[in-house]
Each structure stands twice: as structure tokens, then as C-alpha cells.
């Protein structure tokens, strides 16, 4: 948080504001919201549906901006994040704060007025969870930061469903649980190969605090309930065979990669480390599963 106005070199332009919203990560957040909405049994009016997705995108982007406003100092210490607009000195912190608060408020108010209050309430909760619970409270304090704080990223399927139905039901709760249980293997796989960055910045991520072996074991352990939740909708009668088959095949591959990560010894050296494969696959996995849950409702 030491980046002050006088360090500015080039004025911020729209690309820097876009970068503040973490567009690549947020694309999956928005996609899970869209699929949660499409998985609902009642069709939503296209204009209301579009507005709801826009609000999720604005809310998630604003949360990303507030995260970067708060941790400009941390981002400046890590290679992966040094080029972001604040640590690179292309934007002052106040602009990021105004942008984040303004867009967050706009997203929640628009969701409440144009869609419904349930969706608006959960959107507000997820923004507060990411910014206050994860970023401000837990991230610098405990290696359980992403387990608890990661719930923020799991709310969008509930928001999408609530936008269409005005309530919450078992299927979106399962989708929430899926993203919640997916987050630790997703993030710790990455943390295994960017461990030194986090150590240098003093962030207590699991591989830094508990070591590589414990992290590998935790990845394996979280994959078990995640897999159970991923395949549950078909046997529970909440989705059809299309989702059932896709979830079984893609989850089996996830479990295999997680097993390779869990059983790999520290220091082994192969062309592509299993944790890199698991991290890359974790992103495609969620895109495919959520695509399947929506496709199952519409085409099966």
C-alpha cells in the first residue's frame, strides 16, 4: 500500500481499469453465474437475464479492483503481479478505490432494481466476502485464507439461479459447494509452483507455511468431496444423463491428476509438473462442467 501518487509515470487508460477487474479470472466467475441461471427450470426474460449477468460481471470486476486497491504493496513484491496498474505506477490508489466502490454499488443497486433482491443480496455478500473476509482479513493471516475466503468465488451460480427463480435450491447449492471445494486444489496446485513469490511477499499460503508434502496431501483430500459433489446431480435426479456422463469423465481425469500431484515426491523433475497440469486442467474442468449443467437443461 505504499504506492503513492508521485510514483505515477504514465496516466491510466481504459486498459488499466480493465486490468483492475482481473478479466481472465472473472470470465469463469461470470460463466458459472450464467450457467447457474441457465440451469434454472424457469426461463428468464432475456433482457433481465442479460442485466443479471452484467451485474455479476460488474460486481466481480469491482471486487477485483478493490482487492488490487488494498494489496498494491503485496502485488509490487510478486513477479506475477508487479505489472498491475497500481504497483507499476500507472494508476493512483484513489482512482482504483473510487472505481471499485462505484462499480460495486452500481452492480448491486442495478441487480436489486432490475432483477430481484435475493440476487442483489447474494451479489453484495460475495463482494464483501472477497474484499473484507478474504483480502483484508484472512489472506495475510492464515493458510486457510483461500478455503474460507474462496467461498466468495462460489456464490455466482447461486446468484444466477436466484436471478431466474428468486430463491435458492439444492442444485445451485451443490454448484456452490462444487466451486467451494474446487478452489483449494485449483489454487494450491498453482501455489506449489509460485511458492517463492508468496514467500517473498510474506503471504502465508499453504506451501509456504506447511510445506510441499502437506499441500500435496491437502489437494488430494479436497478432491474427494469435490468429486462427490460434482457427480451428485445426476444420481439425485437434479440433472440428466448428459451432465452425468460429462461429470463422471471429467471428474475422473481431475481425480487422476490430483492423485499424481498428491503422490509426487518433492524434487522430482519431469517435463511438465503434475501441479501445472492440474492447475491448467482445473480451469477447463469448471468451464466444461458448468457448460454441461446448462446444456443438460436446454438440450437434453
Ligand X SMILES: CC(C)=CCC/C(C)=C/CC/C(C)=C/COP(=O)(O)OP(=O)(O)O
228 binds ligand X (CB under 6 A): no
Which of 127, 181, 229, 261 forms a contact with ligand X (CB under 6 A)? Answer: 127
Question: In this chain, which stretch among 3-11, 22-30, 60-68, 254-262 interacts with ligand HEM, using CB under 6 A?
Answer: 22-30
Nearer of residues 130 and 234 to ligand HEM, judged by Cβ: 130
Other C-beta atoms within 10 Å of 95: how many? 20
> How many of the chain's residues bind ligand X (CB under 6 A)?
19
Q: Are 144 and 138 in contact (CB under 8 A)?
A: yes
Nearer of residues 94 and 284 to ligand HEM, judged by Cβ: 284
Measured CA to CA in angstroms, residue 270 lies from 257, 273, 277 at distances of 14, 6, 12
Cell of 248: 463422471
76 binds ligand X (CB under 6 A): no
Q: What is the CA radius of gyration of the chain?
A: 19
Q: Which among 69, 204, 93 is positioned nearest to 149, based on CA atoms?
A: 204
150 binds ligand HEM (CB under 6 A): yes
Q: In angstroms, what is the minimal distance from the CB of 60 to ligand HEM?
A: 9
Site string for ligand X, 150-179 (x = CB under 6 A): --xx-xx-----------------------
Q: Which does 179 bind (CB under 5 to 8 A by kind): ligand X, ligand HEM, none?
A: ligand HEM
What burial class does residue 59 get, using C-beta atoms within 10 Å of its C-beta: 0-12 exposed, 13-18 middle, 19+ buried?
Answer: buried
Q: Which does 63 bind (CB under 5 to 8 A by kind): ligand X, ligand HEM, none?
A: ligand X
What's 264's DSSP letter? Answer: P
Cα 284 to Cα 274: distance, rounded to the nearest angstrom: 15
Handedness of CA 260, 261, 263, 269 (dihedral sign): positive
Residues 171-230 that bind ligand HEM (CB under 6 A): 179, 183, 186-187, 190
126 binds ligand HEM (CB under 6 A): no
Q: Which does 126 bind (CB under 5 to 8 A by kind): ligand X, ligand HEM, none?
A: ligand X
Alpha helices in the chain (DSSP H): 14-20, 23-38, 46-70, 72-75, 93-110, 117-128, 145-149, 156-165, 170-193, 195-201, 206-209, 212-231, 241-263, 274-299
Residues 36-75 that bind ligand X (CB under 6 A): 56, 59-60, 63-64, 67
Residues 2-31 that bind ligand X (CB under 6 A): 22, 25, 29
**Binding interface with ligand HEM (CB under 6 A):** 24-25, 28-29, 32, 134, 146, 149-150, 153, 179, 183, 186-187, 190, 283, 286
Amino acid at each position: 500500500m505504499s504506492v503513492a501518487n508521485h510514483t505515477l509515470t504514465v496516466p491510466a487508460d481504459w486498459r488499466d481499469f480493465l486490468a483492475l477487474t482481473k478479466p481472465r479470472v472473472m470470465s469463469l466467475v461470470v460463466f458459472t453465474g450464467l450457467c447457474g441461471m441457465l440451469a434454472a427450470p424457469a426461463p428468464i426474460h432475456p433482457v433481465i437475464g442479460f442485466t443479471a449477468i452484467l451485474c455479476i460481471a460488474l460486481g466481480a470486476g469491482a471486487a477485483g479492483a478493490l482487492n488490487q486497491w488494498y494489496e498494491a504493496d503485496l502485488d509490487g513484491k510478486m513477479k506475477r503481479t508487479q505489472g498491475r496498474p497500481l504497483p507499476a505506477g500507472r494508476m493512483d490508489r484513489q482512482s482504483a478505490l473510487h472505481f471499485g466502490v462505484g462499480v460495486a454499488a452500481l452492480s448491486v443497486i442495478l441487480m436489486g432494481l432490475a432483477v430481484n433482491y435475493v440476487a442483489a443480496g447474494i451479489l453484495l455478500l460475495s463482494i464483501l466476502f472477497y474484499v473484507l473476509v478474504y483480502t483484508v482479513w484472512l489472506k495475510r493471516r492464515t493458510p486457510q485464507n483461500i478455503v474460507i475466503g474462496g467461498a466468495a468465488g462460489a456464490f455466482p451460480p447461486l446468484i444466477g439461479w436466484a436471478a431466474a427463480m428468486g430463491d435458492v435450491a439444492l442444485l445451485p447449492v451443490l454448484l456452490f459447494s462444487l466451486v467451494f471445494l474446487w478452489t483449494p486444489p485449483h489454487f494450491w496446485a498453482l501455489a506449489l509452483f509460485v511458492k517463492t513469490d508468496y514467500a517473498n511477499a510474506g503471504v502465508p499460503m499453504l506451501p509456504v507455511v506447511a510445506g510441499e508434502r502437506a499441500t500435496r496431501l491437502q489437494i488430494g483430500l479436497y478432491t474427494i468431496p469435490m468429486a462427490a459433489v460434482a457427480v451428485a446431480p445426476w444420481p439425485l435426479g437434479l440433472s440428466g444423463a448428459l451432465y452425468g456422463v460429462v461429470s463422471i469423465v471429467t471428474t475422473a481425469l481431475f481425480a487422476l491428476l490430483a492423485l499424481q500431484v498428491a503422490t509426487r515426491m518433492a524434487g522430482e523433475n519431469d517435463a511438465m509438473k503434475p501441479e501445472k497440469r492440474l492447475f491448467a486442467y482445473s480451469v477447463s474442468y469448471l468451464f466444461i462442467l458448468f457448460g454441461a449443467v446448462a446444456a443438460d437443461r436446454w438440450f437434453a
